[in-house]
Amino acid sequence: MTQIGHEAGIILKSPRELAQMREASWVAAVVLEEVAQKVRPGVTTAELDDVAVNEVRKRGAVASFKGYRGFPASICTSVNEEVVHGIPGNRVLKEGDIISLDFGAQLNGFHGDAAMTMGVGRIGSEAQKIIDAARGALEAGIAAARIGARLGDVSAAIQSHAEARGFSVVREYVGHGIGRQLHEDPQVPNFGIAGEGPVLQKGMTMALEPMLNAGVWRTRVAEDKWTVITVDGKLSAHFEHTIAIDDNGPEILTKLQGFPEGVI
Ligand code: MG
């Protein structure tokens, strides 16, 4: 039975629904990991998409993004100044690039969504700093996602972690509720005011996804009508986990522990 939260539009998941969603999320995480292991100088982003296609199929799941609003690939590959929604193609990764990989899987009628940014070979210290800050911002947001807290507490935790390290937070793209739909209520901004917004309840499931820029927060969409890039051409990094709000604190659904290979 699907339950509607007392905050309008937010769908709470039952334990049974969460169990199904945990499997979908695990597939998203494991496919992302398989793709990440193939990242190296000389590889094209289209080759990374091929890996995602094969790995998700092996597990009987479907790539959430393929065809979503017309997106032409299974994974988003966003390099350097590209923020999100990069389309895999013939671009060859080179030493010193950073690449953001974003992958969603649908299984059991539910979606899981995860992203990470990593270096291609050896990277510079500034590149490493923005990657670490984006990962840390996600961790700070997750830590704030507790029953009784407000959504603004999560947003503010992400924003303050990023800005304290000298990075800006993208405004035009945000995290989201997730479940039977890839994007459900509520929107989860990576900026905001603690104490504001909906109260977090047991059974809420959300994809938190801070996008940090090395320069200004403003972005624009490239000529391919998908790829989001920083307006100043400086680096951007992106991390994402699908989480569930539970009694004992937030559960990260898109992590690799818990479902050894072969269970699904
Ligand atoms: Mg997402």
Taking the centre of ligand 1 as the mean of its atom positions, its distance from the CA of residue 253, in whole angstroms, is 13
Say if residue 263's pLDDT is above 50: no
User: Would you state the pLDDT for residue 238?
Assistant: 98
Taking CA atoms, 231 is separated from 128, 168, 221, 222, 234, in Å, by 21, 13, 9, 10, 8
Phi, psi (degrees; rounded to nearest 5) at 177: -60, 155
Taking the centre of ligand 1 as the mean of its atom positions, its distance from the CA of residue 126, in whole angstroms, is 25
User: Would you state the pLDDT for residue 247?
Assistant: 94
Could you give the percent of the chain with pLDDT greater than 90?
93
- End-to-end, the C-alpha distance of the chain in Å comes to 24
Per the structure block, which two tokens stand in for 213? Answer: 């820029």
Taking the centre of ligand 1 as the mean of its atom positions, its distance from the CA of residue 77, in whole angstroms, is 13
Taking the centre of ligand 1 as the mean of its atom positions, its distance from the CA of residue 239, in whole angstroms, is 10
Say if residue 31's pLDDT is above 60: yes
The pLDDT tens digits of the residues spanning 114-128 come to: 999 999 999 999 999
User: Would you state the pLDDT for residue 264?
Assistant: 44
Average pLDDT for 53-68: 98
Taking the centre of ligand 1 as the mean of its atom positions, its distance from the CA of residue 240, in whole angstroms, is 7
Taking the centre of ligand 1 as the mean of its atom positions, its distance from the CA of residue 176, in whole angstroms, is 7
Give the count of alpha carbons within 13 A of 56, CB side only: 29
Taking the centre of ligand 1 as the mean of its atom positions, its distance from the CA of residue 28, in whole angstroms, is 11
The pLDDT tens digits of the residues spanning 94-108 come to: 999 999 999 999 999
Taking the centre of ligand 1 as the mean of its atom positions, its distance from the CA of residue 122, in whole angstroms, is 28
Taking the centre of ligand 1 as the mean of its atom positions, its distance from the CA of residue 65, in whole angstroms, is 10
User: Would you state the pLDDT for residue 142?
Assistant: 98
Per the structure block, which two tokens stand in for 53? Answer: 């296609």
Structural domains of the chain, ranges and CATH numbers in brackets: 3-252 (3.90.230.10)
pTM for the whole structure? 0.95
